Structure 1
């Protein structure tokens, strides 16, 4: 459900539903509850209700806050992994200038092909799946490097750096794919978030405030706050999917750079 919301529902519509629709729904529910149980408005049990509501709100705030912070950190980690993956091989292509023109052209061609393959198979990355063709291109790059025979110190230094970057490319690619898959919050965490939201909102309508306007403002404010937090959790839960997602700009930049070199 959360994946469908992030991928198919525009973020502006989801934001309206959670930040405006949810408060409106809670105001209607609050009106019905106090119509059915009118003595709650007198606030005779506000002391007990307030303590329970405060405890639930604190626990919920800590839980949802940790979820959002964790998702943002992992999203930043996933973005850094994709940028490092793209720029790692681009640096290898740039460093190949110390080699012969034939070697430089061969490495540049394979690195260009690698980044093009990543762009063409980006949909696989968004689902946390490794595209076989990208791995095959990486193997082709390894084969190209293995055929190089260094004759000068700069060429030997380049070979050592190329081997190191090739090993790093495999690790970075695996990390990017892993982060795309593992970013999702487990179902049990989503159940906790939804349950906590329902509990806090339910306790809100039990508090008795004689001033009708103030009561509605408080209920709407709490509902909007919860809606914003749920919106952030939904949108950040899938770093490579949905409208608010990581785009393959780094790979596209490398392709443009290598194409401009001819």
Structure 2
């Protein structure tokens, strides 16, 4: 059965990020910022989010199982912001620093400072988080509604899920991975899922598929805040690829839309931070 690793490559220099991605896999013809490599039963997905969008980067990191972070000699505040994002995500990775001593000088307080290393291929299996992240939905003639995304749980044909946030039950009609049909896949796999008995307009704005019976919460009670962050009242919460808004009240966050209670870290983002201040406020650990 196929399983997957999901790798995000971060750098302030996009060409450097693309170079690293090309050493890890091959560019997909249909997806501009995704590379793949199949190694036996493992499918490695390499994501290169837009370095100009902190939310795109946070979404990619939030579904990933590992990272590569390229840092040049001239360390900027944007490097610092990306370092805090990786610290918040709490996943393993490799920091490719032109000068390891300089990197540790700036980021020695962070746990990711222990990840400074030379380039090597590095895969981490994705743990079962109880959902499927969805980044695209469309109609296919003769098939019906298809969603593309990443299985962050085991998925099999005929499984039923709840489409979030519209709270609509759907059934998996078929599964494709790299244009090949599968009966079942393990977490971490890039999937195309054909859904039964649903119209595209019914799931407009879908972000994820969760298992029936999953609990939901309207608040995050307690979060770790980085000392370098600005104060904020309204924040973005990124959780397993899901994006919702929230308001900070003391040490908890009231959400504008309920989140599924599954395993993962929620990244707390303040897009309105002062210039040259990190927009990564902190993180919260959520467990089912």
TM-score range for the pair, normalised by the shorter chain length: under 0.3
TM-score by length of 2: 0.21
TM-score by length of 1: 0.22
Larger Rg: 1
Higher helix share: 1
Query: Which of 1 and 2 has higher RCO (CA within 8 Å, sep 6+)?
Result: 1
Higher strand share: 2
